[in-house]
Chains A and B, each alone.
Chain A
C-alpha cells in the first residue's frame, strides 16, 4: 500500500512559488501581446483588401494547424538561433503568436456579430471607419466575445505548461524536477494540478465579473 508523504510540498514551497510566478508572468505577457495581435489580425481578416485578408487568413491557418509543442521548438531552435531570443522570450513569442491566431478568430466573430446598422449609424454621423470601429463596433464586439475570450485565456495558461520543454522553469518544470529528485510523483502532480486549477478558476471568475459589469445595459 502506497504511503503518501505530503511533506514534499511545504518543504519546496519556495520552488513552487517561483514556478507559479513564472507561469503567471509568461501567460500574462503572452496574453497581453496576443490581444493586439488578435485585434489587428481579426480586422485584417475582414478587410476588403484581398491581399491583407489572405495574409491574415494564412497566418491563422498555419497557427491553427501546427501543434504548439512543435511551434515552441521551432521558435526556440530556428528563430531563437537567428534572433538570440533565449527560452524565456521564445516561450512568450510562441504562446502569443499561437494564442493571437485564436483571439483573431474570436475578434472577427465578435465584430461580425455587431449588427450592420451600428456601423452605418456611426459612419452617417461623420465618423471615419477607424473611429467607428474604435468607438462603436469594438466595444460591443468586446462585450460579446468575453466568454470565448475567457476560454482562450484559460487554454493559454494551461498551454503555457508546454514551455517547460524549452527549459523555461515554469510550474510544470519545477514539478518535473522535483519528482525526479523526490520520487513523490503522486503528491507533486496532484498539488500542481490544483495550482493550475486555482489559476484558471480565478481568471474565469474575474472574466465572469467583467461580463456582468459590462453587459448590464441589456
Chain B
C-alpha cells in the first residue's frame, strides 16, 4: 500500500533522511519510534508531500507522490493526516471542520457531507460537540475532531504524527482508543508515537529510526523483548525503565 524506496532528504548539508526503504502492506499498522531528531516526523510528512525529498520514490496506492506529473491534491485526498498540534480550523465548528474538505474538494453535497460528518463525530464520541468551536473543546476532543476530519475524505491510508504528544495524560487514552478502532476496521496506518504500550499492543511492525536512518524493523514482541540493534536496546532501556 505504501512503498518507500531509497528516499533521501537533506536540509542544506544536513542529511535528515538517509536511504529509507520501507514497505507497508494494506491494513497494516506500523509504529515509527525513535529518539527525537531521528527523522520520524520528517519521514511521515514526506509521505503526503508536506516535505519534499531529494532522491528516491514514495508510492501510495499506485501513485508516485513526488513525481512531477502526479496530481498531488488528488492523491492527498486518499491520505489522511493527523498532526501533533491538531491544526483544527479555529473559526469553524467541529462539524464544519469535518465537512469543509468533502464539500469543497470532493464536491460532495452539503447535506450528505453533514450527515456523514455527524456520523463520524458520533462514532468518535463527539455527538454532543458537533456545533462546538475548537477553543471550547479539550485537547483530546480536538484531536478526535481532527481524526474525524481526516476520515471524512474516505482515505485509504492514515498518517499520525505524534497524535498524543500534545495531550494531557488523562486524554491520551481517548485518542489512542480512536486509533485502535480504526486499526480494527482494517485501515492502513503509520503512527509516529512515544506511546510504547500502544505500539506494542496495536502495531504489526515497529520501525525504529535513529539519525535519519531506519535502524530496525521488527514485530513488536521481538522488538520490545529482544531487539537486534544495540541502538534500539539503549533506546528501550531509557524509555522503558523510568
Contact = CB atoms under 8 A, between A and B. Distances in A.
A121 to B, nearest CB: 4
Interface stretch (B25-33, B75-83, B190-198): B75-83
A125 B105 contact: yes
A135 B87 CA distance: 15
B104 interface: yes
Nearest to A218: B135
A126 B74 CA distance: 6
A217 B77 contact: no
Given A125-B101, A126-B101, A120 B87 contact: yes
Interface stretch (A35-43, A97-105, A136-144, A148-156): A136-144
Contact of B133 (A124, A126, A131, A217): A217
B113 to A, nearest CB: 13
B235 interface: no
A125 B76 contact: yes
Interface string A115-137: 10110111111111001000110
Contacts of B77: 125-126
B234 interface: no
**Residue of A121, A122, A126 with most chain B CB atoms under a 10 A cut-off:** A126
B42 interface: no
Interface string A192-218: 000000000000000000000010011
A131 B104 contact: yes
B108 interface: no
B105 A118 contact: no
A118 B104 CA distance: 16
A218 B87 contact: no
B100 interface: yes
10 contacts: A122-B101, A124-B48, A125-B105, A125-B149, A125-B153, A126-B73, A126-B76, A131-B105, A136-B89, A214-B91
Interface of A: 115, 117-118, 120-128, 131, 135-136, 139-140, 143, 214, 217-218
Interface of B: 48, 50, 73-74, 76-77, 79, 81, 83, 85, 87-91, 100-101, 104-106, 133-135, 146, 149-150, 153
